[in-house]
């Protein structure tokens, strides 16, 4: 890790919008154009062309990590400038050695190579180390994240930049991190940005769906409404619906789905939401008959309980990766880009670490909504990437708990459908 010479060694030793569903809603037929149900951040056709290129990026990452070892620093996709795949090295290799990259991505892909000071892992390690030093009574430093594209660690503060700078510096020095030299603590590495505090996500639901698809809203009795993310099971063959942890008040809490009669579906079996933790997740124990790999979609007055389907998990990621979601309370299908792959965010009175930041707007009640990477431009299949945990009011910002962390900490396996 090249940052070890500079920072890490100083820190550690060794286009269609849908509104709220009206009273009259109808099941939607299966012979629909799935792509047209997504609101995309750029021209519709261009977005799906970029998703086609995206399918090959994990193969590129595997190749670069294998053949260029410590020289490879990371990559991101510059979606604002045409979807350019930017690959960073500490020292750019001979171009002949990089010819395989274009072969993997395809001749239509635009690739740019750059020399960088810090790898993605270097910057994310700094975020993790600083996040560990945040005091539990902290209320002004609301986010800490990294940007490989900008080669910076970004600190979001609510009111006072000077105070935020001092708190970060003091925490570094007093928590056995004093080897971070003063001249390293500047805007060349750290960037301070005034940031709104993320908002909670609880609201209401209207329709009844059995089995309970992803993106369907659930009522946590006494707490409010959140959205079902996906179905799962554990090693004991117990079955669950997975939503955000902050939605549940306690283990044993009853959970219903819809306002209609006979709406009870199960109880909260597990709630994981801890200070400094990487997941915000609740497991609602249900019968197997209520689980499904499908995701609900809507179009005007119509709804389709199996509009989309989870066929796998998106465990690799990068800045600029395309993702799509069906949002429970917002009642729309929407796509966007991954902006940050390792963000620590102040939400619900505690710090969540290891969150994924995407440029998708969310509102109260969207917590738990499934977010995935599309498998192809011609199918309705998604690889689940995470679930919505928090968002910033009035901005295109949502934070996700990552599927890899959810699985490992909750001890569950995602229920997936066939491709």
Q: What is the CATH number of the domain that holds 105?
A: 3.30.1340
DSSP 290-356: G--SEEEEEETTEEEEEEEEEEEE-----BT-EEEEEETTTTEEEEEEEEEEEEEEEETTEEEEEEE
Q: Which residue has the higher pLDDT, 23 or 396?
A: 396
Q: Does one domain contain both 134 and 190? A: yes
Confidence at residue 64, expressed as pLDDT on a 0 to 100 scale: 97
Q: Does one domain contain both 155 and 282? A: no
Q: Does one domain contain both 178 and 278? A: no
33-53 mean pLDDT: 84
For residue 182, report the phi and psi dihedrals to the nearest 5 degrees.
-60, -35
> Is a pLDDT exceeding 50 seen at residue 345?
yes
Give domain status of residue 288, yes or no.
yes
DSSP 22-64: -S--EEPPS-S-GGGGEE-SS-HHHHHHHHHHHTTHHHHHHHH
Q: Is 83 left (phi over 0), alpha (psi -120 to 50) or beta?
A: left
> Is a pLDDT exceeding 90 seen at residue 126?
no
Give domain status of residue 37, yes or no.
no
> Is a pLDDT exceeding 70 seen at residue 26?
no
Place of tokens 């600029």: 320
> Is a pLDDT exceeding 60 seen at residue 202?
no
Determine the 3-state secondary structure of 196 from DSSP: coil
Q: Does one domain contain both 288 and 400? A: yes
Determine the 3-state secondary structure of 284 from DSSP: strand
pLDDT tens digit sequence for 249-279: 999 999 999 776 679 999 999 999 998 899 9
Residues 6+ apart with CB under 8 A from 119: 1, 2, 3, 72, 73, 74, 88, 90, 148
Measured CA distances, 341 to 197, 236, 322, 352 (Å): 19, 32, 13, 13
Q: Does one domain contain both 154 and 221? A: no
State how far Cα 151 lies from the chain centre: 20
pLDDT tens digit sequence for 274-299: 988 999 999 999 999 999 999 999 88
For residues 308 and 34, the answer to whether their CB atoms sit within 8 Å is yes
Q: Which residue has the higher pLDDT, 234 or 7?
A: 234
Q: Does one domain contain both 95 and 183? A: no
CA distance 108 to 106: 6
Give domain status of residue 206, yes or no.
no
Cα-atom radius of gyration of the chain, to the nearest Å? 22
Give percent above pLDDT 90 in the chain.
63
Confidence tier at 21 by pLDDT (50, 70, 90): very low
Q: Does one domain contain both 140 and 111? A: no
Q: Does one domain contain both 268 and 390? A: yes
Q: Does one domain contain both 131 and 160? A: yes
Question: Hey, CA dihedral for 216, 46, 86, 61, is it positive or negative?
Answer: positive
Among 11-15, 143-147, 180-184, name the most confident range. 143-147
Give domain status of residue 342, yes or no.
yes
Confidence at residue 300, expressed as pLDDT on a 0 to 100 scale: 74
Q: Does one domain contain both 102 and 133? A: no
Q: Does one domain contain both 407 and 282? A: yes
Structural domain span for residue 267: 217-414
For residues 381 and 188, the answer to whether their CB atoms sit within 8 Å is no
**pTM summary value:** 0.83
Give domain status of residue 36, yes or no.
no
pLDDT tens digit sequence for 159-173: 999 998 888 887 766
CA distance 7 to 44: 42
Residues 6+ apart with CB under 8 A from 218: 205, 212, 225, 226, 227, 228, 241, 243, 247, 255, 256, 257, 265, 284, 368
Confidence at residue 188, expressed as pLDDT on a 0 to 100 scale: 74
Determine the 3-state secondary structure of 97 from DSSP: helix
Give domain status of residue 378, yes or no.
yes
For residues 71 and 93, the answer to whether their CB atoms sit within 8 Å is yes
Give domain status of residue 32, yes or no.
no
Q: Does one domain contain both 147 and 98? A: no
pLDDT tens digit sequence for 73-87: 999 999 999 999 999
Of 115, 150, 167, the residue at which a domain comes to its end is 115
pLDDT tens digit sequence for 367-404: 999 999 998 765 689 999 999 999 987 889 999 999 99
Determine the 3-state secondary structure of 239 from DSSP: strand
Of 85, 115, 145, the residue at which a domain comes to its end is 115
Mean pLDDT score of the chain: 85
Give domain status of residue 401, yes or no.
yes
Of 115, 139, 161, the residue at which a domain comes to its end is 115
Place of tokens 């059995």: 210
Confidence tier at 25 by pLDDT (50, 70, 90): very low
How many distinct structural domains can be found in the chain? 3
**CATH number of the domain within which 255 lies:** 2.40.10.10
């Amino acid at each position: 890790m090249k940052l070890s010479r500079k920072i890490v060694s100083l820190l550690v030793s060794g286009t269609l919008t849908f509104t709220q569903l009206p009273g009259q809603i109808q099941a939607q037929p299966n012979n629909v154009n799935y792509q047209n149900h997504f609101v995309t951040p750029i021209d519709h056709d261009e977005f799906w062309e970029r998703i086609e290129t995206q399918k090959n990026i994990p193969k590129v990452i595997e190749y670069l990590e294998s053949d260029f070892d410590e020289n490879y620093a990371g990559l991101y996709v510059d979606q604002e400038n045409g979807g350019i795949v930017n690959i960073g090295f500490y020292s750019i290799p001979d171009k002949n050695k990089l010819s395989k990259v274009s072969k993997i991505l395809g001749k239509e892909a635009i690739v740019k190579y750059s020399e960088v000071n810090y790898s993605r892992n270097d910057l994310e390690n700094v975020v993790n180390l600083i996040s560990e030093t945040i005091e539990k009574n902290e209320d002004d430093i609301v986010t800490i994240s990294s940007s490989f594209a900008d080669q910076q660690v970004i600190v979001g503060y609510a009111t006072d930049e000077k105070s935020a700078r001092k708190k970060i510096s003091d925490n570094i020095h007093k928590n056995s991190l004093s080897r971070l030299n003063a001249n390293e603590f500047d805007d060349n590495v750290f960037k301070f940005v005034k940031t709104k505090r993320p908002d909670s996500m609880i609201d209401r639901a209207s329709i009844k769906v059995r089995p309970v698809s992803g993106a369907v809203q659930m009522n946590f009795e006494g707490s409010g409404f959140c959205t079902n993310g996906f179905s799962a099971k554990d090693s004991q063959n117990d079955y669950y619906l997975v939503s955000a942890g902050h939605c549940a008040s306690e283990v044993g809490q009853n959970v219903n789905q819809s306002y209609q009669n006979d709406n009870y579906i199960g109880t909260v079996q597990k709630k994981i939401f801890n200070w400094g933790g990487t997941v915000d997740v609740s497991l609602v124990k249900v019968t197997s008959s209520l689980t499904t790999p499908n995701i609900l979609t809507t179009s005007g007055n119509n709804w389709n309980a199996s509009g989309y389907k989870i066929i796998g998990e998106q465990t690799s990621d990068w800045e600029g990766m395309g993702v799509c979601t069906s949002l429970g309370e917002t009642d729309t299908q929407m796509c966007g880009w991954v902006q940050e792959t390792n963000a620590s965010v102040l939400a619900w009175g505690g710090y969540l670490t290891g969150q994924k930041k995407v440029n998708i707007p969310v509102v109260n009640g969207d917590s738990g909504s499934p977010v995935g990477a599309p498998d192809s431009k011609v199918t309705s299949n998604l690889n689940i990437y995470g679930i919505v945990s928090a968002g910033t009011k009035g901005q295109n910002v949502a934070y996700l708990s990552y599927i890899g962390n959810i699985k490992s900490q909750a001890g569950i396996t995602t229920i997936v459908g066939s491709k």
